[in-house]
Structure 1
Amino acid sequence: MGALTEIHAPTARAAGAAAAFVLALGSRLLQREPQKHLPLLWLGTTEAFSEGGLPYAAGIRETFGIAPQRLLFAEAPKLGDTLWIGEEAARLPDLAGVILELRGNPRMLDLTATRRLHRRAQAAGRPVFLLRQSAEQTPTAAPVRLLVSPAPAALRQTLDGPLRGSLGPPGLELTVAKSRIARPGTFTLEWNPHERRLQLRNDPLSNQAANRPSRAYPTVPGSVVSLSVDRQDLAPAPGKVMGFPAPERRAAGG
């Protein structure tokens, strides 16, 4: 675990899914060393938190089981200060790990900067998760790069089978973009909030439910709104307007 790992959110709307994946890893990490009571440090720039939002302690505790006293939060307005804090924090023995959240492709985040983060993580034997929003894939020293996007939730499973119109565990689409030991591929994962673990969605019923076609539901007498099921999971991608037709001009004296 003592290494730098890149977690990419390809688009701005995938930032929440990428952050959830990192928190899932952090939850598993803290479960492995409960006797030490070491905290995680979540560090980021003001720009990143302005776009992706601030951590919500109550929700993190309820969903991921991370107590507020085991999650430290730090924000720096400048990228240089954020990287410096991340390098210093990566070698501290009193931290279970470091989450470094940045946005875009800043020039300062090059091979040299990521190599320093990776070496500090290796020396301390602690993981450093580089959480990147809306970033293109560029050369870094991280041995692993994962792309994370939200995935449609499957139906909730019951003893009688999938529950119609329900929502199952949160889904994530994970793509292995770079790894020395793992083969490239894309997987759909689910976070089990009860057992506090990630699980691979390989149940045929779950896959069928997640990709089910839209169908009409009968109206409910007295209802004022339609049932919020079987709808599009994401807004359609915006199109590009290449140009507008020129307005017609009237001839002089017309």
Structure 2
Amino acid sequence: MDMIRDVAALRQMLSGLEAERLPGVESSFSLGADGPEAGGVRLARGALHEVQAAQSADMPAATGFALALALRALRTAGAGEGRPLLWVRQDLADAEFGRLDAPGVAQLGLDPVHLLLVRARDGAEVLRAAGDAARCAGLGALLIETWGTPKALDLTTTRRLALRAASSGVTSFLLHAASQPAPTAVATRWRVAPAASAPLAGDAPGAPAFHATLLRHRGGEGCVRPVEGGDWKLEWDHEACSFRDLASLPRAVVPVPAGRPDGAAAAEAGRGEVVALRRAG
């Protein structure tokens, strides 16, 4: 019990030191959207947060969501806005999804000049580099991307990362694909999948859209009631650097099989006649 009290006192002291280092900066930040805001969802600064994809096909959406959260933490920090974002990425992520694209990063709202990229061979190296980076108070935010859930990613490792983030004040985000949640010392855990974007005028592609589910929330300043299990569809406004609620599409989205014959040909085929089918594409 004495150890528990000592750890609690240490965390309180570190929180006070961080408040002195960044005067006027709130200890938490919101997503900006009305839905999560109504649920009292706020993310603690100087903490470790987790963004998961249920399967590898959802990783691009989870990556965009994690980067948007990091940008939200940076832009709302005031004193920390000009600090760089450090992204520690496993090599296998490059092999599966390709290297980070500077124009794409810029379209999400991050100037590539403020991005520092560290590539690591495996999950253990990613976590070692992240542990060193989490100590650096000069960073604005830290993004830790592993491929899947490596053995080194356990409760002890995440607790160490969380304590170092609290000491330095660097808000950190752990990004990976995980089919089942594992015990970690994170402040919040999100599961993210892609959502259909609302089309712009002329059927132009809309803003990045996400289906985000809050699996864990340890509470904190601004959390008015339990919000675990909250489920929202959100889109990202890179100009305002804020999420907003995604309006429902005016009609259902129905996938159309590729190479399907047109309606007239299908009708003729239904009467048992031989018809010529046009090749699609």
Please state which band the TM-score falls in when normalised by the shorter chain.
Answer: 0.7 to 0.9
- Which structure 1 segments of 5+ residues have no match? 157-162, 219-223, 228-254
Distance 1:225 1:187 in 2: 40
* 1:192 has 2:230 as partner: no
Q: CA deviation at 1:119?
A: 0.7
TM-score by length of 1: 0.74
Aligned match for 2:195, one of 147, 151, 165: 151
Tell me which moved more, 136-145 or 176-185: 176-185
Distance 1:93 1:64 in 2: 24
TM-score by length of 2: 0.67
Label 1:133 to 1:189 Cα distance change in 2 as closer, same or farther (>3 A).
same
Q: CA contact under 8 A between 1:48 and 1:102: conserved in structure 2? A: yes
Q: CA deviation at 1:23?
A: 1.5
Tell me which moved more, 132-141 or 182-191: 132-141
Distance 2:71 2:121 in 1: 27
Label 1:184 to 1:134 Cα distance change in 2 as closer, same or farther (>3 A).
closer
Q: Name 1:176's counterpart in structure 2.
A: 214
* 1:97 has 2:135 as partner: no
The amino acid of 2:101's aligned partner reads Y
Matches within 5 A, 1:12-51: 12-33=56-77, 37-51=82-96
Aligned match for 2:97, one of 45, 48, 52: 52
Q: CA deviation at 1:225?
A: 10
Label 1:35 to 1:5 Cα distance change in 2 as closer, same or farther (>3 A).
closer
- Which structure 2 segments of 5+ residues have no match? 1-44, 220-226, 257-261, 264-277
Q: CA contact under 8 A between 1:6 and 1:131: conserved in structure 2? A: yes
Label 1:89 to 1:225 Cα distance change in 2 as closer, same or farther (>3 A).
farther
Residue aligned with 1:82, SS: helix
Label 1:96 to 1:103 Cα distance change in 2 as closer, same or farther (>3 A).
same
Residue aligned with 1:207, SS: coil
Residue aligned with 2:113, SS: helix
Distance 1:94 1:174 in 2: 30
Count of aligned pairs = 210
Q: Name 2:173's counterpart in structure 1.
A: 129
Q: Normalized per residue, which structure has more helix?
A: 2
Distance 1:142 1:126 in 2: 14
Residue aligned with 1:58, SS: helix
Distance 1:226 1:35 in 2: 56
Indicate the RMSD between aligned Cα atoms, in angstroms. 2.7
Q: CA contact under 8 A between 1:12 and 1:52: conserved in structure 2? A: no
Q: CA contact under 8 A between 1:105 and 1:136: conserved in structure 2? A: no
Distance 1:225 1:38 in 2: 54
Q: CA contact under 8 A between 1:154 and 1:209: conserved in structure 2? A: no
Residue aligned with 1:104, SS: coil
Label 1:214 to 1:141 Cα distance change in 2 as closer, same or farther (>3 A).
closer
The amino acid of 1:174's aligned partner reads A
Q: Name 1:116's counterpart in structure 2.
A: 160
**Percent of pairs identical after alignment?**
31
Q: CA deviation at 1:183?
A: 3.1
Residue aligned with 2:214, SS: strand
